[in-house]
Chain A
């Protein structure tokens, strides 16, 4: 299975999903013109990985800003990961945040608190 890599821009996340290692990284700020369009291939790749590769996933997020529409899309990704985890898949999420950016820590906690997922918060 191919890796999925997208360079970051000022308003879109850098994406580095590695099919061999199972390390999936998303970095940067997200306020694309159309979040649904941006996140669709990411979700598709993830579903395919879960179906075909079935190996552990380590999801590393280093996010500076998410607009509301992107936040909604990120929750869809957590949904997919939760389902994988509940059906026996190994999933670990690491949410990185800048030490002085407690709002991003709060955002991370808030978005993940209702999911049954293994999540760790770390300062950068």
Chain B
């Protein structure tokens, strides 16, 4: 096994303008701290607070996706469903941010997730709003704690189409990677 020196991670992230990153169990406590940091401190690229809030919202939905749906879980004491593991990273751009999130999913999930994102990516503005309103009114399935609308909400807040991929890892394990870009600009072309 090769040994990566910490400085290599450090330099790689710095060179890539990563301002916030985490790899591990996405507990709610952690989510709150990171999301609030992002809203209050790490949003220097935006002059308009609307964009900071959009970034905040995207980040929360992505982290909660990992926490709820990752196949890799840590079972916490008194917790009955376990807390998902994954990786999240926020990168600075010239006029905005990129948020990337990744976690392990099953083969079946790759089909479901792919379908959802492709649908969302095929729609713009009003059509996306229609889908949002339709989906948000659907009854939750028994035991479902999420809303099933995360990707739609993310798409409406982001500046570009959602980019995603799956990489097979063996044993019915796939690495799901999603990338969201948000830029501050006068006209919002998407969402």
- Using CB atoms and an 8 Å cutoff, list the residues of chain A in contact with chain B: 10-11, 31-37, 65, 67-69, 71-72, 75, 100-103, 110, 114
Contact = CB atoms under 8 A, between A and B. Distances in A.
Dominant secondary structure of chain B at its interface with chain A: helix
Contacts of A67: 57, 60-61, 64, 147
Given A34-B145, A75-B136, A75-B137, A65 B32 contact: no
Interface of B: 28, 31-32, 35-36, 49-50, 53-54, 56-57, 60-61, 64, 67, 129, 132-133, 136-137, 140, 144-147, 149-150, 152-153
A68 B28 contact: no
A68 B147 contact: yes
Contacts of B54: 103
B146 A69 contact: yes
A37 B57 CA distance: 21
A72 B53 contact: no
Q: Which 7 A-B pairs have the closest CB atoms?
A: A33-B28, A68-B147, A69-B147, A72-B147, A68-B149, A68-B153, A34-B145
A36 B142 CA distance: 11
A65 B57 contact: yes
B159 to A, nearest CB: 15
Contacts of A100: 49
Contacts of A65: 53, 56-57
A6 to B, nearest CB: 17
20 contacts: A10-B32, A11-B32, A33-B28, A65-B56, A65-B57, A67-B61, A68-B149, A68-B150, A71-B147, A72-B140, A72-B147, A72-B149, A75-B137, A100-B49, A101-B49, A101-B50, A102-B50, A103-B53, A103-B54, A110-B129
